[in-house]
């Protein structure tokens, strides 16, 4: 189409094969929008488009992504506030007629589900045709149809564990991510440590003296190969017990509390903010999904990474935080990784 529809804090451009969403960078623009900057969403990544009344004389055009199509929304797992949902375009009510036109035009571009007449808003009786009348938020639970705000963000490398749209399977999940993950940030400060991602192969956690638990200090700074991971668990810092947890592919036992789990960083007031930790989680999830599923060969850790962990372990030993026996055992384990 090539047309541009400008709204509050964002504009939608309709290309022949994709919806391009560009976000403003003004002081009033949600910080997540400023970080995302621009997103290209192929039409095949969308399940439906709705138009609902908004607040204070506005209407909301909402593009509903398919389950499994966007790593950002998969990582968020329904925990985003409405004001930060990148698929919502808020318009003044005097542009409602124009918004209706683009809603219909966009719906016509969405690929129908095979064998599902009227699915995903493509005709009368489709499972999304009734969303406009549910609650004015483009989803049955007020969060873009992506699950309630108290649902944990647990995703494995094969996609969400449940249908977050409540569509009874009428909208088929995408077999792969169709929307590119955010380009950054690839590091952020949590309450108990700094999380970093090289953008492709490794995630690392470096603990802070002021926040990390004794369990994490004894384990030492952590480096995880993407190939060893099967998913992530992101819980918004806007709720209690916010954290980012990496899920190991071997599925072994892990501490219940993220504060005690060396594969987790915990959030707090001013730490792990949504616009920092969520794009990070989405980038890691996308890397996991695209990684080769072959088993990791023995000795896959680089000598430099092992040496750094042994150095840190020695510091803990000298500080009296680990015993002689714990130091010897852990050092032997690290040397065995070479």
Does residue 314 have a pLDDT over 80?
no
What pLDDT shows up at residue 254? Answer: 86
Q: What long-range pairs does 150-153 form, CB within 8 A, spacing at least 24?
A: 150/239, 151/77, 151/78, 151/79, 152/77, 152/233, 152/235, 153/75, 153/76, 153/77, 153/78, 153/79, 153/232, 153/233, 153/234, 153/235, 153/236, 153/281
Contact assessment for residue 100 and residue 87, using Cβ atoms and an 8 Å cutoff: no
Question: Taking 50 as the threshold, does the pLDDT of residue 196 lie above it?
Answer: yes
Between these two residues, 154 and 217, which has the higher pLDDT value? 217
The pLDDT, as a whole number, for residue 21 is 98
What pLDDT band is residue 322 in, cutting at 50, 70 and 90? low
Task: Tell me the average pLDDT of the chain.
Answer: 81
Residue 315 confidence (pLDDT)? 66
Claim: this prediction has a pTM higher than 0.75 = no
Report the share of the chain in percent with pLDDT over 90.
61
In terms of phi and psi (left: phi > 0; alpha: psi -120 to 50; beta: otherwise), the region of 304 is: alpha
């Amino acid at each position: 189409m090539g047309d541009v529809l400008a709204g509050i804090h964002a504009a939608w451009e309709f290309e022949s094969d994709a919806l391009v969403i560009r976000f403003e960078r003004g002081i009033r623009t949600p910080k997540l929008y400023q970080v995302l900057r621009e997103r290209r969403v192929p039409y095949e990544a969308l399940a439906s488009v709705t138009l609902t009344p908004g607040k204070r004389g506005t209407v909301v055009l909402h593009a509903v992504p398919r389950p499994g199509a966007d790593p950002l929304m998969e990582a968020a797992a329904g925990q985003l506030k409405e004001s930060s949902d990148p698929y919502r375009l808020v318009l003044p009510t005097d542009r409602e007629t124009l918004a209706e036109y683009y809603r219909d035009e966009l719906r016509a571009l969405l690929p129908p589900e095979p064998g599902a007449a009227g699915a995903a808003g493509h005709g009368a009786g489709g499972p999304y045709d009734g969303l406009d009348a549910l609650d004015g938020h483009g989803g049955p639970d007020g969060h873009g149809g992506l699950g309630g705000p108290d649902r944990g963000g647990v995703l494995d490398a094969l996609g969400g564990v449940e249908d977050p749209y409540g569509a009874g399977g009428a909208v088929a999940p995408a077999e792969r991510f169709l929307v590119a993950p955010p380009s950054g940030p690839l590091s952020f400060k949590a309450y108990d440590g700094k999380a970093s991602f090289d953008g492709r192969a490794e995630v690392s956690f470096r603990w802070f003296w002021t926040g990390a638990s004794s369990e994490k200090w004894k384990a030492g700074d952590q480096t995880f190969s993407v190939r060893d991971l099967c998913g992530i668990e992101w819980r918004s810092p806007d709720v209690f017990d916010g954290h980012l947890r990496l899920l190991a592919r071997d599925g072994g036992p892990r501490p219940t509390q993220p504060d005690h789990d060396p594969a987790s960083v915990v959030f707090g007031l001013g730490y792990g903010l949504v616009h920092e930790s969520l794009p990070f989680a989405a980038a890691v999830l996308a890397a996991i999904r695209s990684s080769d599923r072959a088993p990791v060969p023995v000795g896959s850790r680089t000598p430099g990474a092992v040496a750094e962990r042994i150095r840190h372990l020695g510091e803990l030993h000298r500080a009296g935080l680990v015993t002689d026996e714990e130091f010897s055992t852990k050092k032997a384990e690290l040397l065995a990784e070479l």
